[in-house]
Amino acid sequence: MRASNAAVFLDRDGVINHAPVRSGKPYPPRSPDEVLILPGVATALADLRAAGYRLVVVTNQPDVARGTLSRSAVDAIHAQIGQQLPIDLFCTCFHDDADACDCRKPKPGLLLDAARTLDIHLAASYMVGDRWRDTEAGLAAGCRTVFIDHGYHERQPEHYDLRVRSLAEAARHILDHP
């Protein structure tokens, strides 16, 4: 059984839903119609929820700051995902790096805010992501980290606790090593 008030923090694109890859870099869906939940995700999240973990999506969506995607489109995408999956909370940074906010991963602001909101014990929690920003945010927040390696042609994380190929594999490990 897991520790009290533990969570699994999840990056969105490439972890929960398909992220089209162009020139080795993943991109988010542009509308709810483009959301495609990855294989095994629904079962993995149901298993984590059944074990008592809170499920929190923490996602950078800088296209809003860049003016190439509306906040309402991001909210609609989250609504679509929330209808299909048992997510407790969506936490979104709408800023770009130049904004120097505290919520944009690799800073831990999104995780820290969620922990305060849901009374989450960070040291008993996991951050699962497919990019270096995700694992760095998890480490900075005091979580154990799982890197889903899709082989992107970009900076790779230097530090993480576990490297896997899918959320289903990550969930199996989390459930076996609470």
User: Catalytic: 13?
Assistant: yes
User: Catalytic: 47?
Assistant: no
Choosing from 11, 63, 130, 134, the catalytic residue is 11
Please tell me the distance from the alpha carbon of residue 57 to that of residue 55, in angstroms, as a whole number: 7
Choosing from 13, 63, 130, 134, the catalytic residue is 13
Please tell me the distance from the alpha carbon of residue 159 to that of residue 32, in angstroms, as a whole number: 33
Other Cβ atoms less than 10 A from the Cβ of 95: the count is 18
| Spatial CB neighbours of 30, under 8 Å, sequence gap ≥ 6 | 69, 73
Residue 29: strand, helix, or coil? coil
Which sequence positions are flagged as catalytic? Answer: 11, 13
